[in-house]
């Protein structure tokens, strides 16, 4: 099941993921269920956003986490796309996205396919209607009606700290923040720019 994070906003999300967890638990009680294997692919750590962890299929099984790209990997991908970004633009892309695999790949695709220029990409990056708008709006919807997470994210953006450890793990699990030494910072500059403008206390 690819992109299961699209279900997070659905009113039936807890029932749906509870059903998957029940299928997993049934494997221990019935041989026929052992014939069922499933893989859930998501861009976040969704168990942090599911209300009842006992009903979550995300805290059982094996988790494979994709790390952010390094500058060398971004350069390699840029070359594989016929180098639409020059050396300075590669560095600027790394500063903006911090190697976020999905966003880097999207940026390279959009520029390499001629849909936008590098200048347009950087100028409109945090715009709701810009090249990453759909992704940013989806992340914003994850915070809908979660005032405590909004406040925690604003604290990270403005002060590079998150006083509440549970909120930190929820934001980290949603892919919004990361640790840097003793500080907590937005995962990338794009997120800092967008959420600074769109989160209101």
**Is there a domain that residue 13 lies in?**
yes
In SS3 terms, 142-179 reads as HCCCCHHHHHHHHHHHHHCCCCCHHHHHHHHHCCCEEE
Q: Which residues pair with 177 in a beta bridge?
A: 186
**Is there a domain that residue 130 lies in?**
no
Q: What is the pLDDT along the chain (201 residues), one digit of tens a residue?
A: 887 777 777 788 778 888 888 888 888 888 888 888 888 777 666 555 566 666 666 666 667 777 899 999 999 999 999 999 999 999 999 999 999 999 999 999 999 999 999 999 999 999 999 999 999 998 898 888 889 999 999 999 999 999 888 889 888 888 899 988 889 999 999 999 999 999 864
Domain-ending residue, one of 83, 101, 123: 123
Q: Count each helix (H run) and each strand (E run) in the chain, helices first.
A: 9, 2
**Is there a domain that residue 43 lies in?**
yes
Measured in degrees and rounded to the nearest 5, phi and psi for residue 184 equal -115, 125
Q: Which residues pair with 180 in a beta bridge?
A: 183
In this structure, are 149 and 175 located in the same domain?
yes
- Counting the structural domains of the chain, the total is 3
Q: Using DSSP, state whether 138 is helix, strand or coil.
A: helix
Return d(Cα 165, Cα 188) in angstroms, integer.
Answer: 20
In this structure, are 16 and 43 located in the same domain?
yes
In this structure, are 142 and 182 located in the same domain?
yes
**Is there a domain that residue 64 lies in?**
no
In this structure, are 41 and 12 located in the same domain?
yes
In this structure, are 194 and 149 located in the same domain?
yes
Question: For residue 180, what are its two tokens?
Answer: 């840097």
**Is there a domain that residue 129 lies in?**
no
Return d(Cα 117, Cα 120) in angstroms, integer.
Answer: 5
**Domain coverage including residue 172:** 136-198
């Amino acid at each position: 099941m690819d992109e299961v994070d699209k279900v997070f906003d659905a009113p039936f999300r807890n029932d749906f993921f509870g059903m998957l967890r029940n299928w997993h638990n049934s494997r221990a009680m019935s041989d026929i269920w052992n014939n069922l294997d499933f893989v859930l692919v998501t861009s976040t750590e969704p168990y942090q956003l599911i209300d009842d962890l006992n009903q979550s299929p995300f805290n059982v099984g094996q988790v494979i986490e994709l790390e952010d790209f390094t500058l060398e990997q971004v350069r390699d991908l840029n070359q594989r796309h016929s180098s639409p970004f020059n050396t300075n633009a590669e560095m600027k892309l790394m500063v903006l996205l911090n190697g976020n695999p999905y966003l880097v790949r999207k940026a390279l695709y959009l520029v390499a396919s001629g849909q936008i220029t590098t200048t347009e990409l950087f100028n409109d990056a945090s715009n709701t209607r810009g090249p990453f708008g759909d992704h940013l709006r989806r992340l914003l919807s994850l915070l809908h009606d979660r005032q405590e997470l909004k406040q925690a994210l604003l604290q990270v953006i403005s002060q590079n700290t998150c006083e509440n450890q549970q909120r930190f793990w929820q934001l980290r699990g949603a892919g919004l923040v990361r640790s840097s030494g003793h500080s907590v910072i937005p995962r990338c500059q794009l997120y800092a720019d967008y959420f600074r403008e769109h989160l209101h206390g």
